[in-house]
Chains A and B, each alone.
Chain A
Amino acid sequence: DTGVSQDPRHKITKRGQNVTFRCDPISEHNRLYWYRQTLGQGPEFLTYFQNEAQLEKSRLLSDRFSAERPKGSFSTLEIQRTEQGDSAMYLCAQLAGGNGEQFFGPGTRLTVL
């Protein structure tokens, strides 16, 4: 049990709706990452935070996606006007080691109908 938690674990929504996911890391004020994983692929980097600052965003993160990490603690990922192509597992991870080890939460499985 890494201690990184994500909520909800599953989300089913209709196309065009907005969804928000939450990630609670083990500890505050360190690096927190968001990834997306589709079937048969490895996780793809979306964005990361150092404390409350969002330092990098992937080109995968369209303007419909926004992430926040107020006060450097928990983080939220919002997807506006969801599309069927947004269906995926959304993973949150926390940097945990000097060799780049990241500990992952259980993920949120999003299904857009």
Chain B
Amino acid sequence: DQQVKQNSPSLSVQEGRISILNCDYTNSMFDYFLWYKKYPAEGPTFLISISSIKDKNEDGRFTVFLNKSAKHLSLHIVPSQPGDSAVYFCAAGEGNYQLIWGAGTKLIIKP
């Protein structure tokens, strides 16, 4: 069963506009959620996280929103830049810090 789902395999956004990446989860016991960015042939790079007790966390151009009642989180990137083109993974965890990952969304920033 997929506990973490990213339903959009890809997303194309104009440079300078907002990119919104979505993630849904089913396990209400998750304590924290994270977003990672991955380039081909590299390991995932941590971007931003949010605890289940918060509904928003911001770091520069990146903001993560958590809606616990809907079991939904989103990553907003404003403004989008060409270097943001990558695959973005949503991950969730509890307790022992084992992460459960979504399948990823490929973000393409158009010039």
Contact = CB atoms under 8 A, between A and B. Distances in A.
Interface of A: 2, 4, 6, 31, 33, 40-45, 48, 55-56, 91, 93, 95-97, 99-107, 109
Contacts of B104: 40-42
Interface residues of B, number: 26
Taking chain B's interface residues, is the majority helix, strand, or loop, or is none over half, making it mixed? strand
A70 B34 CA distance: 30
Contact of A102 (B31, B51, B97): B97
A100 B34 contact: yes
A96 B43 CA distance: 15
B42 interface: yes
Interface in B26-41: 31-32, 34, 36, 41
23 contacts: A4-B43, A33-B98, A41-B104, A42-B103, A43-B44, A43-B89, A43-B101, A44-B101, A45-B98, A45-B100, A56-B96, A91-B44, A97-B49, A99-B32, A99-B49, A99-B50, A100-B34, A101-B46, A102-B97, A104-B44, A104-B46, A105-B43, A107-B41
